[in-house]
Amino acid sequence: MTSASPISCMWEMPVLYHIHSHKNANSFVTAMEFPAWGVLVGCLLLGWIAVQQIKYLLKKQHLRGPFFILPFLGTALSLVWEPTKYWEKQAFFSQKTGISCNYIFGRFTVFIRDSEISQKVFANVRPDAFQLIGHPFGSKLFGDINLIFMYGDEHKDLRRRLAPLFTIKALATYVTIQERTIRSHIERWLMMASNGSPLTLRVLCRDMNLETSQNVFVGPYLTPEMKEQFTKDYNAFNMGVMALPLDFPGCLYNKAKHAVRRLVAVLTECARQSRIRMNQGEEPECLLDFWTKEILREIEEAEDAGLPAPPHTSEKEVGHHVFDFLFAAQDASTSSLVWAVTLLDSHPKVLEKVRKEQSTLSSPLSLEKIRLMEYTQMVVREVLRFRPPATLVPHVARVNFPITETYTIPKGTIVFPSVFDSSFQGFTDPHSFDPDRFSPERQEDQRYKRNWLVFGAGPHQCLGQRYAVNHLTLFTSLFTSMVEFTRVPTPGQDELVYTPTIAPKDHGFFLLSKRK
């Protein structure tokens, strides 16, 4: 008989007896050995579960959160199936202390409701504190070459070199492209709505935003065929962001990962074409051109000094970083556009004031005219405060970090500062939609600026926030001037859903008609 584990030794005596007593001894031995291995596996499994539970409780300490966790999965299923309720529960757990905890896919997590604690995370993105990750499982999804994951001097240097992409001259160029694209889409929507059927704005805004981003970021370098495939791949990526992180062929997460590779390949080709065009001395027509022009200047200066080309100047790296811009601009902006229309529909006096201001401005719009839209920009800022599109900004703790006097976040924890909950702290009557809070008289944007975290804070504060505000302002201006809109009532229409940014449950279900 082969050697047995300690647990299976109890079976040796009856097995030996049956070997001498029965002709079918071999089959009996096999039958008797299976329960022994079953007991061993069961004990090991129970031991592993107990260890995971103990490790979780040691990290949890006094924080509110689930007491018992499912091994590995934790509360991941409820997060995927009912994300709104999941995060509402986390916010409820953190009401007293400002933080709560949970466990998903083998990772301990901390949710931060308190604005000042969130500020502490944003301000400490560095190797010995926190790292921004953008998505709980984003490193495999986005790839290694990514502005999101950088920190320290490398990150500071790259941000400094990206500044020319958002100068007044560059933003003015983008405004022209944005207006042209937005106007053409709104006209198309009015044609679609001419039969009296309601339309779902989120889908329409998503497509409009993707085309706007394509036109602004890579301009003339995408052919119609490339745009079509680009749209398919971006939608596949977007589905993967919301899916379980199962990296197997056929799974949404796996499809998204491969879609990102194809998107970056297309953007890399665009970077190559831009380099050829800018080398010929032509004027920039898109964000990529402005960056390429700066890159060529840096490379020339390095060559004159006998130095190698600066980092992050290869076409592949540029392609990766342009994808970062695309990701940052796309879903959050789509969410904000839908909320802008939804909130204007439910606040007719605000809508009336916006239209009155717009009636004083003529087409075409420009950066100078956007500056004159004082009330419209107040509305835009309140939309972003009242319904911040990216509600959470995930980071990972690289060390044990004392976040409060009584709690230290363990190394490896995924930390979720809540931009959404911060938006309802400090402000006067925060649950009311009130654009006048941003007026020169009240200046709540200054009084409570540490609570207005829509674009983050610290070293990773959104680089393109002026572009984002301009985009929402332009859309609000054009949509309110061109369209009469009425929301079609549906059950629970104002409930929040994650798409992955937040949107109303009805996704903006409206009747549209041309404004006379």
Residue 1 buriedness (CB in 10 A; 0-12 / 13-18 / 19+): exposed
Q: Which residues lie across from 390 on neighbouring strands?
A: none
d(CA 365, CA 371): 11
Contact call for residues 94 and 110 (beta carbons, < 8 A) = no
Q: Which residues lie across from 108 on neighbouring strands?
A: 103
Q: Pairing mode, if any, of strands 414-417 and 107-112?
A: parallel
Contact call for residues 372 and 394 (beta carbons, < 8 A) = no
**What is the reported pLDDT for 325?**
87
d(CA 216, CA 166): 12
**What is the reported pLDDT for 374?**
98
Give, rounded to a whole angstrom, the gap between the first and last alpha carbons of the chain: 93
d(CA 513, CA 195): 10
Find all residues with CB under 8 Å of 247, minimum gap 6, and list them. 140, 253, 254, 257
Question: Which of these, 341, 339, 357, lies nearest to 512 by C-alpha position?
Answer: 341
Residue 462: how many other CB atoms lie within 10 Å: 16
Tell me the CB-side half-sphere exposure of residue 157, using CA atoms within 13 A: 8
d(CA 331, CA 335): 6
Specify the CATH number for 145-388+423-514; select among 1.25.60.10, 3.40.50.620, 1.10.630.10, 3.40.630.30.
1.10.630.10
d(CA 165, CA 465): 12
Helix (H) or strand (E) holding 102: strand 99-104
User: The pTM is what?
Assistant: 0.88
Enumerate helices (H) and strands (E) in the chain, giving the number of each. 19, 12
Rounded (10°) angle between helices 152-162 and 287-304: 110
Q: Which residues lie across from 110 on neighbouring strands?
A: 101, 415
**What is the reported pLDDT for 28?**
45
For tokens 């329960």, the residue is: 35
Q: Is 462 one of the annotated binding-site residues?
A: yes
Helix, strand, coil share (%) of the chain residues, nearest 5:
60, 10, 30
d(CA 61, CA 407): 8
Going 189 to 195 to 197 to 198, the CA torsion angle's sign is: positive
Contact call for residues 351 and 375 (beta carbons, < 8 A) = no
Contact call for residues 497 and 503 (beta carbons, < 8 A) = yes
Q: Average pLDDT by consecutive 10-residue portion of the chain (516 residues)?
A: 39 39 47 67 85 93 93 87 94 96 94 98 96 79 79 89 93 97 98 97 96 94 92 90 84 92 95 96 95 95 93 92 86 95 98 98 95 98 97 96 97 97 97 98 95 94 94 98 98 93 97 95
Contact call for residues 58 and 400 (beta carbons, < 8 A) = no
**What is the reported pLDDT for 34?**
53
d(CA 203, CA 208): 9
Residue 82: how many other CB atoms lie within 10 Å: 14
Find the length of the chain.
516
**What is the reported pLDDT for 290?**
96
**What is the reported pLDDT for 134?**
80
Question: Which of these, 72, 420, 495, lies nearest to 244 by C-alpha position?
Answer: 72
- Burial letters 398-419, b for 16+ CB under 10 A, else e: beebebeeebbbbeebbbbbbb
Q: What SS3 state is found at 391?
A: coil
Contact call for residues 104 and 136 (beta carbons, < 8 A) = yes
Going 248 to 253 to 256 to 261, the CA torsion angle's sign is: negative
For tokens 């010995």, the residue is: 128
DSSP string, 399-462: S-EE-SSS-EEPTT-EEEEBHHHHTTSSSSSTTS--GGGGSTTT-HHHHTTTT--TT--GGGS-
d(CA 79, CA 3): 47
